């Protein structure tokens, strides 16, 4: 298990790194698969994710996270992945990056929306990541890793974690200075897996009804990003894209017909949000989206996306009247989108009209009951309206539906605390601290929850919390345990 833990970081290094060449890959049934079990991969993946969340700024946007979920779940039935338990994370960074981690962890940088031109291109990245997971490339690396120097593997682990979190410069320095020959050999072996992941990923794209030609076009966009940057983009620090790889993908795509590309309203919204977050300063944002209105017809999707961006800018300035006026001018069906209704509720709240905000959200939730964005906004408005019991109930439901999202637990802890639900508040705070990498603090909160449950005579909660305490206490805190 020690060698498995040391090599764990290599999965983060797998995405997007191949060159043309002959493949000599082991079969899944050979001895390499016995080095690390699926359960061990699951534990390692969750440990890595907790460490990542402790070090990196992640996106709490329910809209973005549900969009990522939907893209991946569209691909999964066609991806050869046997896993059923996935976790998703979006890092708040503008660099183009995506990664797969053992145990079903899929992550992207929010900045990938600046480079992907449509959902097919973004799905091509995700299909490639799912292929790494389906082929268990981590387990297959362990046997080869036994021949490497442990210090070089440990150095690569530290570098990849830094690159994926918030210190890319330090991570890059680690890669270029830590026993370069050994590291290069490990990455050279993974290039063969990249060819395999490209092939299997393209099959998933085709099976999901997406355009297989999106894979070479996304690779080409990556090459362009590299040509115009002083330092290689994040993804190139660990997984370079080459002209040979673009050509291989293009040749493979020619075996399939072109499909119409998907660019949903949600995609346009998130792309605009990425522009506002990373590319446009405050002075440029208003001018940019007003110009977009002049370039598109009034009932078009790009026009509506620009309207929504302008309404968000008004909300950021706490100009509720201007924001609501823009939303009232939006054409159907765009004004019924969860992002539009959620923003409307936010603006109504700014005006102090919480009841109107809740009414708008409830009407939308009738037709979109699974919307993470709408439910999250409703919880915010309920808290603002001091309806702590209703907010606590709603957030408890969300925590059961999406237990991997830290902000849900954090908000539940706050709502339960306001509602004098001490056991639930301590437990939710413990869950939040645990999945964000603060195990010791999490256990202290869980112990407080356990004491409170005993005090209240809630035997069911006491038993449930006791089980969680054992799981948390026995979870590894670092690689190499």
Catalytic residue numbers, as ranges: 129, 198
Is 400 annotated as a binding-site member? no
Is 337 annotated as a binding-site member? no
Asked if 323 contacts 343 with a C-beta cutoff of 8 angstroms, the reply is yes
Is 132 annotated as a binding-site member? yes
Query: Can you say which residues are annotated as belonging to the binding site?
Result: 128, 132, 194
């Amino acid at each position: 298990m020690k060698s498995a833990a040391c090599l764990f970081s290599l999965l983060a290094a797998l995405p997007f790194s191949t060159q043309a060449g002959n493949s000599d890959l082991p079969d899944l049934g050979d001895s390499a698969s016995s080095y690390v079990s699926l359960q061990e991969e699951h534990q390692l993946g969750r440990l890595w994710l907790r460490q990542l969340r402790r070090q990196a700024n992640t996106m709490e946007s329910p809209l973005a996270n549900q969009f990522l979920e939907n893209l991946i779940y569209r691909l999964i039935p066609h991806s050869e992945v046997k896993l059923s338990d996935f976790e998703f994370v979006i890092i708040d960074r503008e660099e183009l990056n995506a990664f797969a981690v053992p145990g079903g962890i899929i992550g992207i940088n929010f900045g990938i929306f600046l480079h992907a031109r449509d959902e097919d291109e973004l799905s091509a990245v995700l299909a490639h990541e799912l292929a790494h997971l389906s082929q268990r490339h981590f387990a297959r690396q362990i046997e080869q890793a036994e021949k490497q120097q442990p210090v070089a593997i440990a150095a690569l682990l530290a570098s990849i974690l830094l690159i994926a979190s918030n210190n890319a410069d330090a991570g890059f320095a680690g890669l270029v200075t830590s026993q370069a020959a050994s590291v290069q050999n490990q990455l050279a072996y993974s290039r063969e897996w990249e060819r395999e992941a490209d092939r299997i990923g393209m099959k998933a794209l085709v099976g999901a009804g997406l355009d297989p030609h999106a894979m070479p076009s996304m690779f080409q966009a990556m090459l362009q990003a590299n040509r115009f940057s002083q330092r290689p983009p994040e993804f190139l620090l660990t997984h370079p894209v080459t002209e040979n790889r673009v050509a291989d993908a293009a040749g493979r795509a020619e075996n399939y017909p072109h499909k119409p590309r998907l660019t949903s309203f949600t995609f346009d919204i998130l792309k605009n949000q990425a522009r506002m977050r990373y590319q446009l300063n405050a002075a440029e944002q208003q001018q940019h989206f007003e110009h977009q209105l002049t370039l598109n017809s009034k009932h078009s999707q790009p026009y509506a996306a620009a309207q929504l961006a302008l309404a968000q800018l008004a909300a950021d300035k706490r100009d509720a009247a201007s924001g609501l006026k823009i939303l009232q001018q939006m054409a159907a069906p765009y004004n019924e989108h969860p992002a539009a209704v959620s923003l409307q509720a936010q603006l109504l709240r700014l005006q102090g009209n919480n009841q109107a905000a809740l009414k708008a959200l409830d009407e939308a939730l009738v037709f979109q009951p699974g919307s993470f964005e709408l439910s999250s906004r409703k919880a915010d408005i309920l808290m603002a309206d001091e309806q702590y019991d209703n907010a606590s109930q709603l957030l408890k439901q969300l925590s059961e539906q999406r237990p991997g999202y830290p902000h849900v637990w954090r908000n539940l802890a706050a709502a339960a605390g306001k509602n004098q639900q001490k056991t639930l508040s301590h437990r939710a705070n413990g869950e939040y601290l645990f999945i964000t990498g603060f195990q010791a603090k999490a256990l202290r909160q869980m112990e407080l929850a356990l004491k409170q449950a005993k005090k209240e005579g809630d035997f069911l909660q006491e038993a449930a919390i006791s089980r969680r305490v054992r799981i948390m206490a026995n979870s590894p805190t670092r690689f190499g345990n």
